[in-house]
Chain A
Amino acid sequence: DAGITQSPRHKVTETGTPVTLRCHQTENHRYMYWYRQDPGHGLRLIHYSYGVKDTDKGEVSDGYSVSRSKTEDFLLTLESATSSQTSVYFCAIRFLRRTSGQEGGYTFGSGTRLTVV
Chain B
Amino acid sequence: DAKTTQPNSMESNEEEPVHLPCNHSTISGTDYIHWYRQLPSQGPEYVIHGLTSNVNNRMASLAIAEDRKSSTLILHRATLRDAAVYYCILRDSRLSNFGNEKLTFGTGTRLTIIP
- Partner-B contacts on A (CB < 8 A): 30-31, 40, 42-45, 48-50, 56, 58-59, 90, 92, 94, 103-111
Contacts and interface: CB of A to CB of B under 8 A. Distances in A.
Secondary structure at the A interface, as helix, strand, loop or mixed, is strand
B108 A105 contact: no
A42 B99 contact: no
Interface stretch (B8-16, B39-47, B68-76): B39-47
B17 interface: no
Interface in B78-115: 87, 91, 93, 96, 98-100, 102-108
A106 B103 contact: yes
Given A50-B98, A110-B42, 20 more contacts: A42-B87, A43-B103, A44-B105, A45-B103, A48-B100, A48-B102, A50-B99, A50-B100, A59-B102, A90-B44, A92-B43, A92-B44, A103-B32, A103-B49, A103-B51, A105-B46, A105-B49, A106-B36, A107-B46, A108-B43
Nearest to B43: A108
**Residue of A40, A44, A106, A109 with most partner-chain B CB within 10 A:** A106
